[in-house]
Amino acid sequence: MKRQDFNFELPQELIAQYPLANRTDSRLLTYHRQTQQYGHHQFTSIVDFLEPGDLLVMNDSKVIPARLHGHKASGGKVELLVERLTGHDSFLAHIKASKALKVGGLIHLDNEWRIEITCRDDDLFHCRVNGDVDAMLHQIGHVPLPPYITRTDEALDLNRYQTVYAKHKGSVAAPTAGLHFDETILASLHQKGIKIAYSTLHVGAGTFRPVRCDDLNDHKMHKEFFTVDEALCAAVNQARAESRRVIAVGTTALRCLESAAYQGELYPCNRETDIFIFPGYQFQICDGLITNFHLPESTLLMLVSAFIGHAQAMELYREAIAKRYRFFSYGDASLLL
């Protein structure tokens, strides 16, 4: 398949710039591949479509305040987006500046923080901080809103661009399917006998990197660090042995599961993954996927197309646009079975 096969026209006004007042105010578009039927609901109805014994797998990675603003000694403005922490005083970053920065160059930030460029690796820069990088980020870092949100971050984003179950710091983009869940819905799931387990995948800024090659086989995915522990493996393998459904909450949770799967079994992992899922991929673990609506020609749309079929995915998106669903990180959700 070609990149252009995943293009569609999206009205700008459907790109959500702010979250709704409450997490569960979002809408839910349901689709079952066997029946090919759509359903239009509020997200609070998610409990009605899940069955006792279903296992939801969520990504508990926590978003860090990864966007930094500084200047060179010459006064030129510099913007950094942390891609990954590599040590207590070091990180990898994307850097925007009027002129390319050189190895050894210094960037000055507020509160006397200073960053030195130590190495360049393709489009990423290795950076060293004059102190603890975690402390620096929490003092002067900003919420790393995605590029299609055209406003600066605000106080509300500190809470809303984070899942209520976020635990392990490391993501520079939210696992957005989880943003719709609040404590009340989690309690309702528990009361119905729906089980929840957690994976961890630290989402990198590369998740927004466009596919530039026409042939999907030529696309190289960015690497992201993930963890699948023994408890998750036991829960998933038992669910599959008992013919209970495994449903991924978000593409990141799904990529964790598929990266750690071998011949239909899940095994503990603590490493990087660059798995690229597009039509033709044979899924090993997941029976369902909860996910937001994604960018045209994006790897995430390609994953959805692999899960329910290309023609079905493109029709699903036409349906979402016709019914005025809100798109992307702060947008509405879909449940695909």
In this structure, the answer to whether residues 124 and 162 fall within a common structural domain is no
Is 146 a member of any domain?
Answer: no
Question: Is residue 30 domain-resident?
Answer: yes
306 and 178 in a common domain: yes
- Angle of helix 310-322 relative to helix 299-308, nearest 10 degrees, comes to 110
Same-domain status, 244 and 328: yes
Per-residue confidence in pLDDT tens, the chain, 337 aa: 899 999 999 999 999 999 999 999 999 999 999 999 999 999 999 999 999 999 999 999 999 999 999 999 889 999 999 999 999 999 999 999 988 889 999 999 999 999 999 999 888 999 999 999 999 999 999 999 999 999 999 999 999 999 999 999 999 999 999 999 999 999 999 999 999 999 999 999 888 888 999 999 999 998 999 999 999 999 999 999 999 999 999 999 999 999 999 999 999 999 999 999 999 999 999 999 999 999 999 999 999 999 999 999 999 999 999 999 999 999 999 999 9
User: Do residue 205 and residue 314 come from a single domain?
Assistant: yes
Here the tokens at position 227 are 């963890």
The predicted pLDDT at position 73 comes to 87
- Give the residue numbers spanning the domain of 44: 3-63+158-336
Do 175 and 268 fall into the same domain?
yes
Answer yes or no: is 153 within a domain. no
Strand order in the sheet with 288-292: 37-42, 27-32, 333-336, 288-292, 246-249, 55-59, 195-201, 224-228, 269-273
Find the CATH number of the domain harbouring 82. Answer: 2.40.10.240
- What pLDDT does 207 receive? 87
Same domain, residue pair 33 and 127: no
Query: pTM of this prediction?
Result: 0.96
Residue type, 183: E
75 shares a domain with 55: no
Res 135: pLDDT: 97
Q: Please name which of 276, 245, 266 lies closest in space to residue 32, comparing C-alpha atoms.
A: 245
Q: Are residues 107 and 88 in the same domain?
A: yes
With respect to residue 148, please indicate whether it lies within any of the assigned structural domains. no
How confident is the model at residue 123, as a pLDDT? 84
**Spatial CB neighbours of 12, under 8 Å, sequence gap ≥ 6:** none
Considering the domain boundaries, does residue 145 fall inside one?
no
Same domain, 33 and 136: no
Would 151 be classed as within a structural domain?
no
Residue 207 resides in a domain: yes
CATH at residue 207: 3.40.1780.10
The pLDDT, as a whole number, for residue 209 is 85
Do 240 and 319 belong together in one domain?
yes
Instruction: Report pLDDT for 100.
Output: 81
Residue 149 lies in a domain: no
Task: Say what the pLDDT of residue 208 is.
Answer: 86
Chain centroid to Cα 105, Å, comes to 32
* Ramachandran sector of residue 209 (left: φ over 0; alpha: ψ -120 to 50; beta: rest): beta
- Domain count for the chain, please give it: 2
Q: Domain check: are 47 and 178 in the same one? A: yes
CA distance 249 to 66: 23
CA–CA separation, 325 and 40 (whole Å): 10
For residue 146, CA distances in Å to 19, 151, 172, 205, 317 come to 13, 10, 9, 9, 21
Same domain, 50 and 80: no
Quick one: pLDDT at residue 67? 97
Instruction: Please tell me the predicted confidence (pLDDT) of residue 93.
Output: 95
How many contiguous H segments (helices) and E segments (strands) does the chain have? 7, 19
Look-up: residue for tokens 């995948």? 201
- pLDDT for 21 equals 98
